[in-house]
Structure 1
Amino acid sequence: MRANLALAIGVACTAALVIPLSSPAAAHPAPNDAPVSARHTAATAPATGPAARSAATAPSARTGAAVSGSTQSVPLVGLRADQTTGAPQQGLSQRDTKPFSLLGVVWEEPAAALDGTVQVRTRAAATGDWSEWQDLETHNEAHGADAGTAEGDADTLRGSTAPLWVGASDGVEVRVRAEAPREGSTAATPLPRGLRVDLVDPGDDPAAAPGTTTPGNTSVEPQPGSGETAADSPLTGAMLTAEESAASAVNAEHAPLGALEIPELSQADTEALYAEEAAERSEQAGQVPAAKPYVGPRPGITTRKGWGADESMREKNFVYTKSVQAAFVHHSATGNNYSCSQSASVLRGIYRYHVKSSGWRDFGYNFAVDKCGKIYEGRAGGVAKAVLGAHTLGFNSNSMGVVVLGTYSSSTPPAAAVTGVAKLTAWKLGLWGKNPKGTVTLTSGGSNLYKKGVRVKMNVISGHRDGFSTECPGAKLYGRLGTARSTAARLQGR
């Protein structure tokens, strides 16, 4: 058993260890993706007129298993310069579209900053009503892979705003306004080249196949008369793709193959499984093991299979870093206009936007927590392993990224979400011998706060803004991190 546990949650021995499962490849476009830019050819032309809107709002014909969703890309066009400041503007007039629920603005050069404002209006598919203008977070470069890594230097990368969840919609209007000329200057700030709006349909929620696990029911029930036992997963054959099998197999010590949820464990059961491993992790990280191991109880975690990740989109390899020394907390900046029953759809939308629109190898964050405190597996590679993410530019190595779904600049995060962050970090940081109320020294990979190679002392549970000058995770969520640290430490028994 101990050997199996070590295999399941063992530490990779290099700074970026790649475990190939098949030949590296760029993300595959889904069959119903709209091609985008020169990388994909022409963009989808917007639909117009009553007939088009009727077709766009017709009930979905999807049945059975979930579909992978789709992305419509519509190039922005030049608008009249701002009459007051002379700043250039681009956008779209009101137009009909195919159904979508999440959107963002994307441009060709990832290093080009969008200095200005991006606002959108959307039409609700159910009522036909147009929303008020909503702002998109334009400085999204703070989230992403470190420079000098394969993902950070990939030619698939694009500049992008943060995505915004708008709910079921079938119409859009966009306006992008550059910053006004600075005092003493007559030159307006240029907008990035190749601006477009990407409209994301996250697809349907996954439908559980007979005999599969579902959230809240983690056992695998054998079919009557089949001769199978509960240990024989029915998803070992054609019901799982090779990519789905790989993403699930790295969690084999936590749940059966194809499970939709990793069950929570009591404190005693967690300690029995992980305490010795946590002490070994401390030694491997060059730390003095604690007198007793401090590992919080493992929380329930919805797997990628559980929230419906299309595993064919991501790169096929898993990439690991040496250890997990810190957790960076983020907010998704996708807005708070979602219900907890829609969280899986929000995740699928963000995932598709990260891969198809921004050009990342996978979902950027290691974990997500919704407003009800439910925890989700993020980037593929194993929930107990040191998976290299793309969340805190300059500090992705030896850390994990936890995103709370929503925008918490002026809205207070629900207590359940803060508790979810505490439960997750108490367990995951405990596996690596870390005190949630402690500090750690990390080496910067290069950010707008710390040059590459600078050693920085940070809280073990930090906010994104501690490593990069950004508003993330929002002032209100950042102000609750002290509570998360104290709760996580208490859950560890400190």
Structure 2
Amino acid sequence: MRGFLASSIGVTCAAALALPLTLPSTTARAATPGAKTAPTTKTAPSTKTAPSTKTAAPSTKAAPNAKTAPSAEGIPGSTQSLPLAPLAADRSAAPAEREQGLTRRDVRPFSLVGVVWDDPADELHGTVQVRTRATGTTTWSGWQGVETHNHEHAADPDTMERGSGRLRGSTAPLWVGDSDGVEIRVRAESDRRAGHAPALLPEGLRLELVDPGDEPPPRGGPAEVPRATAMSAEAAAASAVNADLAPLDAAVIPELTKRQTEADLIAARGGREVVGKVRPYIGPRPRITTRKGWGADERIRERDFAYTRTVKAAFVHHSASGNNYRCSEAGSVLRSIYRYHVRSSGWRDFGYNFAVDKCGNIYEGRAGGVAKPVLGAHTRGFNANSTGIAVLGTYSSANPPKAAVTAIARLTAWKLGLYGANPRGTTYLKSGGGNLFKKGRNVRLRVISGHRDGFATDCPGSRLYDKLGKARSSSARMQGR
């Protein structure tokens, strides 16, 4: 399968973009904390970027009810961006800068909500509650809370992604399912301490309503060879960086046995280990649904890929988007979060390197290659030399499914094994700056850490965090340690 491509067009694309299985000795140009990682960061020194000219960065100022045209892959999607207004239902209502929202209204269908504001440095100290009406019915949900603190899932300070001028402050996204009516209220928290003024809301609050579009058309599986002419340049680039693992335009990267994975890694290292005598510590490669498989519209992200030196640690997150989804809807959830990260929040791409649904299915996240050290925007201060894995759902009070915890173990056993990292061990990462560790400090962290280990946050939720010990031991065992 290595190097197998569909057509002469595919071969040309792969020659320009595909890299060998990424290892610490063959990584792309490093992006360290504090480094200026431009959206035009090149891939490996021997690798060229996408075979077409750069596109303009997507605007984050989405007009109300703006509709995005279907992509070349036929997957439509849209974002409605509605400015919030002061709420003054009665005389006791708070001042406009302390309570805003929208009363019940009809809108175009959507499935995910979030709130954004102008300055990404501002924090929303207060509560956000929404209720929605299921499409085509008169049934309204109860009030649902939206996680307000999302700034810890972001690019590191002093990077080009962080300083692009396109970022907005944002809440976590909340999946609500197919809806066509919405009501929202945002209230600043009160501070009753003597001498402390009440908190005010950030400026420019807007409600983002995201329609993920339709599911990708059925495909024949990883062995299918589609016509390369049906692919956009951006889609071809996103697929070609995985060309060592699956055919161009594949919806799935197939799983391998442990022996096959070991042989693959040894071959990538030039046969320096001898099978049967010195085996690498690596788990079997799991099945991974590609960005093509879950329907990512490659046109909306930044075109080029950003890499760091290696992968020394994995940070586990929850998406805080709620648990009210079916696993068959995971692609829609991913497309919605992706659009929210890029169009609404102003990030260069999906923030996490990987996602896992509650049935244990694993998905490619940020573009650049699942085996490569892609620079994410998942753990502010520690995105360099790490990978971020988000379990879709909220696990502060709900227990994560066993399948999801097993998937974390399987994914980390393989991904960390590519870079020689021991899932039971510890490592040192240099902080890029955050609310726990000052910029430049070398911090000792577990190789599999929770988000809260690197940043003061509830993420990945107490219940999921409590399962990381089991994930570490299972991952190490899968590596053969």
Are 2:30 and 1:7 aligned?
Answer: no
Partner of 2:419: 432
Q: Answer whether contact 2:352 2:377 (CA < 8 A) is retained.
A: yes
CA spacing shift, 1:122–1:183, aligned 2, 3 Å: same
Give, in angstroms, the shift of residue 27 of structure 1. 3.9
SS, match of residue 102 in structure 1: strand
Give, in angstroms, the shift of residue 157 of structure 1. 0.2
- Tell me the distance in 2 between the aligned counterparts of 1:463 and 1:265: 27
Are 2:179 and 1:169 aligned?
Answer: yes
- Tell me the distance in 1 between the aligned counterparts of 2:267 and 2:472: 23
Q: Answer whether contact 2:2 2:243 (CA < 8 A) is retained.
A: no
Are 2:423 and 1:419 aligned?
Answer: no
Deviations 1:240-295 (A, max 9, x none): 1111100000000111111000000011111110136479999xxxxxxx964101
- Tell me the distance in 2 between the aligned counterparts of 1:475 and 1:26: 40
1:77 counterpart (68, 82, 85): 85
Give, in angstroms, the shift of residue 12 of structure 1. 1.6
SS, match of residue 319 in structure 1: coil
Give, in angstroms, the shift of residue 84 of structure 1. 8.6
Q: Answer whether contact 1:326 1:459 (CA < 8 A) is retained.
A: yes
- Tell me the distance in 1 between the aligned counterparts of 2:317 and 2:439: 22
Give, in angstroms, the shift of residue 67 of structure 1. 2.4
Unaligned runs of 5+ in 1: 30-35, 46-61, 221-232, 283-289
Q: Answer whether contact 2:136 2:180 (CA < 8 A) is retained.
A: no
Q: Give me the TM-score of the superposition, normalised by structure 1.
A: 0.85
Alignment of 1:468-483 (within 5 A): 468-483=455-470
CA spacing shift, 1:255–1:245, aligned 2, 3 Å: same
- Tell me the distance in 2 between the aligned counterparts of 1:260 and 1:407: 27
Q: Give me the TM-score of the superposition, normalised by structure 2.
A: 0.87
More divergent stretch after superposition (340-349 vs 71-80): 71-80
Identity of aligned residues (%): 59
Deviations 1:21-51 (A, max 9, x none): 244444446xxxxxx7xx45x5339xxxxxx
1:265 counterpart (256, 263, 279): 256
Unaligned runs of 5+ in 2: 4-14, 32-36, 44-48
- Tell me the distance in 2 between the aligned counterparts of 1:400 and 1:279: 25
2:346 counterpart (346, 356, 359): 359
- Tell me the distance in 2 between the aligned counterparts of 1:95 and 1:279: 62
CA spacing shift, 1:75–1:393, aligned 2, 3 Å: same
- Tell me the distance in 1 between the aligned counterparts of 2:127 and 2:231: 43
Partner of 1:179: 189
Deviations 1:209-246 (A, max 9, x none): xxxx54xx3212xxxxxxxxxxxx3332x211111100
Partner of 1:234: 226
Partner of 1:44: 65
More divergent stretch after superposition (124-133 vs 330-339): 124-133
Deviations 1:161-182 (A, max 9, x none): 0000000000000000001134
Q: Answer whether contact 2:173 2:320 (CA < 8 A) is retained.
A: yes
SS, match of residue 389 in structure 2: strand
Deviations 1:177-219 (A, max 9, x none): 00113411363211101101000000000014xxxx54xx321
Alignment of 1:279-318 (within 5 A): 292-318=279-305
Q: Answer whether contact 1:27 1:356 (CA < 8 A) is retained.
A: no
Partner of 1:102: 112
CA spacing shift, 1:384–1:302, aligned 2, 3 Å: same
**Larger relative CO (CA 8 A, sep 6+): 1 or 2?**
2
Q: Answer whether contact 2:2 2:245 (CA < 8 A) is retained.
A: no
- Tell me the distance in 1 between the aligned counterparts of 2:99 and 2:292: 42
SS, match of residue 147 in structure 1: coil
User: Counterpart of 1:71 in structure 2: which amino acid?
Assistant: T
More divergent stretch after superposition (464-473 vs 238-247): 238-247
2:203 counterpart (184, 188, 193): 193
More divergent stretch after superposition (156-165 vs 71-80): 71-80
User: Counterpart of 1:125 in structure 2: which amino acid?
Assistant: T
Partner of 1:393: 380
Partner of 1:247: 238
Q: Answer whether contact 2:318 2:460 (CA < 8 A) is retained.
A: yes
Are 2:151 and 1:141 aligned?
Answer: yes
User: Counterpart of 2:27 in structure 1: which amino acid?
Assistant: V
SS, match of residue 127 in structure 2: strand
Are 2:478 and 1:491 aligned?
Answer: yes
Give, in angstroms, the shift of residue 425 of structure 1. 0.3
SS, match of residue 318 in structure 1: coil
Are 2:338 and 1:346 aligned?
Answer: no
Deviations 1:100-155 (A, max 9, x none): 00010010111111111101000111432111111111110000100111101111
CA spacing shift, 1:244–1:266, aligned 2, 3 Å: same
Give, in angstroms, the shift of residue 445 of structure 1. 0.2
SS, match of residue 449 in structure 1: coil
Partner of 1:56: none
More divergent stretch after superposition (19-28 vs 156-165): 19-28
SS, match of residue 350 in structure 1: helix
Give, in angstroms, the shift of residue 88 of structure 1. 1.7
Q: Answer whether contact 2:382 2:430 (CA < 8 A) is retained.
A: yes
- Tell me the distance in 1 between the aligned counterparts of 2:235 and 2:438: 38
Q: Answer whether contact 2:110 2:211 (CA < 8 A) is retained.
A: yes
Q: Answer whether contact 2:425 2:447 (CA < 8 A) is retained.
A: yes
Give, in angstroms, the shift of residue 6 of structure 1. 6.6
Give, in angstroms, the shift of residue 2 of structure 1. 9.8
CA spacing shift, 1:309–1:315, aligned 2, 3 Å: same
Give, in angstroms, the shift of residue 85 of structure 1. 7.7
- Tell me the distance in 2 between the aligned counterparts of 1:422 and 1:279: 27
CA spacing shift, 1:169–1:480, aligned 2, 3 Å: same
Could you say what the CA RMSD is over the residues aligned between the two structures, in angstroms? 2.6
